Amino acid sequence: MRVCALIPAFNEAAHIGEVVRGAARHVELVVVIDDGSSDGTADIARDAGATCLRSQANSGKASALRMGIAFARDREFTHALFIDGDGQHAPDDIPSLVQAARNTGADLVIGTRSFDRNRMPGARYYSNTIGSKVASWLVGQEIKDSQCGFRLVRLDKLRLMTLRGRKYELEMEILIKISLAGCSIVHVPVRTVYDEGQARSKMKPVRDTVRICFWSLVYRFLGV
């Protein structure tokens, strides 16, 4: 396995250095895709040891990830690890995802958070539980955490797909298209840091959950 970590980032100067250094302990290469940041995110990421790709304008998380996926595929990495740049994922959980892929041969390993209503911000809790139920229905198997951005995917499977997502729907697009292609999916428990979570997250739970659900139906039933 050759694993490349892909970190989409928009104005994450406060957290990106720590995330890069943590991920670099567990993967061959860390790539930060700076999505038009204005706070020096790219410079901090480079100083921490990352390779940086940069978009001049803020185009959305999915556009940044698609840029990173193309970069990793062209350099013959076998797997891409998606991890957010806002510090909510624990890089020391990366070995658990990698080991699960190695042990099972799974095409997609999804990090699964504990949906503890007492610790998770309310809007995030409901958007995640609803999203996961919708995902499970769409793909015909239990999906424990459809919106978690912490996951590991085989790049040769993505090579066969046309990915169209531009915002937060990309994770669901990959999940649905992986499932429809008959690929295997496993789940691995991961930790998530929720203190200051609402301030860090750029996702709007209601608006973006509606958008994700809409595009999920399009990907599943129209096959685009």
Question: Which amino acid is residue 16, in one-letter code?
Answer: I
Are 111 and 95 within 8 A, CB to CB?
no
CATH (residue range 3-221): 3.90.550.10
Q: How many CB atoms lie within 10 A of CB 161?
A: 13
pLDDT of residue 199: 42
pLDDT of residue 14: 96
- Global pTM? 0.87
pLDDT digits (tens, 9 = 90+) for 36-62: 999 999 999 999 999 999 998 998 899
pLDDT of residue 201: 58
Locate all alpha helices (DSSP H) within 75-169, ordered by sequence. 94-104, 122-139, 155-158
pLDDT digits (tens, 9 = 90+) for 121-142: 666 666 777 777 888 888 888 8
Nearest to 76 by CA among 152, 184, 4, 134: 4
pLDDT tens, position by position, for the chain (224 residues)?
Answer: 999 999 999 999 999 999 999 999 999 999 999 999 999 999 999 999 999 999 989 988 999 999 999 999 999 999 999 999 999 999 999 999 999 999 999 999 999 987 666 666 666 666 777 777 888 888 888 888 888 889 999 999 998 888 887 777 888 899 999 999 999 999 999 987 765 544 455 666 567 777 777 878 888 888 77
Are 81 and 110 within 8 A, CB to CB?
no
b/e per residue 75-91 (b: at least 16 CB within 10 A): eebebbbbbbbbbbbbb
Alpha-carbon separation of residue 81 from 1, 38, 77, 119, 154 (angstroms): 12, 25, 11, 26, 9
Question: Which amino acid is residue 133, in one-letter code?
Answer: K
pLDDT of residue 211: 76
**Radius of gyration in angstroms for the set of CA atoms belonging to the chain, rounded to a whole number:** 16
Question: What does the DSSP 8-state code read for residue 186?
Answer: E
The residues spanned by each domain of the chain are: 3-221
CA 122 distance to own-chain centroid: 21
SS3 161: coil
